[in-house]
Amino acid sequence: MTSNEWNARSLDTQRFTELAGSIRLQTLLTDLPRVLEVCTDTAAVSTVPPCDWSLDGQIRGEGARLQQWMHLQAALSLPQTCQRCLEAMPVAVQVDRWFRFVADEATALAEDDDCEEDLLAMSGEFNAFELLEDELLLAMPLIIRHADCQPPASTALIDDLPHPFAALAGLKTPKP
């Protein structure tokens, strides 16, 4: 099946992986509400190019060792504010993750501690947009800042306000 024949909001994951399905989409930031919430430079949201993302289904193994996998790739530039200089800056967020499908949530919980890959429960109505949002949020840097910038100058050094402990210095008695 081609990319246009799959419904990313209600995906039959078993059929998608068995048929080596492939989805290629461009999604506007405004269509990813949870990702939009973390954008601190809201004025720049309308100028952000769409998120390019893809899903690919795959079968690995044979017989009893047959496994169903899905590969998610995404790239997006989010308008943010540098935490050091407080200037607007774009932050590139990229996702490149593999997921293995298991029969149900109980199986996913039981196998989760013993495997390195991410596990998802097989579903007839899997919403790939929710997975995309989850992974974009997880891929965001914890501290958003330019590689080289300076914090803004402190106004406390510039103003002529009295310093609260200056009067205490006058009360100090000189040592004989």
Spatial neighbors of 160 by CB under 8 A, at least 6 apart, are: none
Question: What local confidence, expressed as pLDDT, does residue 95 receive?
Answer: 97
Q: What is the DSSP letter of 126?
A: B
pTM above 0.85, yes or no: no
Q: What pLDDT digit, counting tens, does each position of 110-158 carry?
A: 887 778 888 888 888 999 999 999 999 999 999 999 888 877 666 555 5
DSSP 4-34: GGS-TTSB-HHHHHHTT-EEEEEE-GGG-HH
Q: Which tokens belong to 59? A: 């079968």
CA distance 15 to 164: 71
* DSSP at 92: E
What does the DSSP assignment read for 73-115? Answer: EEEEEEEEE-TTT--EEEEEEEEEEEEEEESSHHHHHHHHTT-
Distance CA 103, CA 106 (A): 8
The letter for the amino acid at 163 is: H
Q: What angle do CA 75, 79, 80 make, to 5 degrees?
A: 115
What's the confidence (pLDDT) of residue 17?
Answer: 93
**In the chain, where the domains are located:** 3-148
| Strands 88-102 vs 118-121: parallel, antiparallel or unpaired | parallel
Alpha-carbon distance of 90 to 1, in angstroms, equals 36
Number of H-type helices and E-type strands within the chain: 5, 5
Pick out the chain residues at pLDDT < 70: 1-4, 152-162, 176
- Residue among 139, 104, 94 nearest 13 (CA): 104
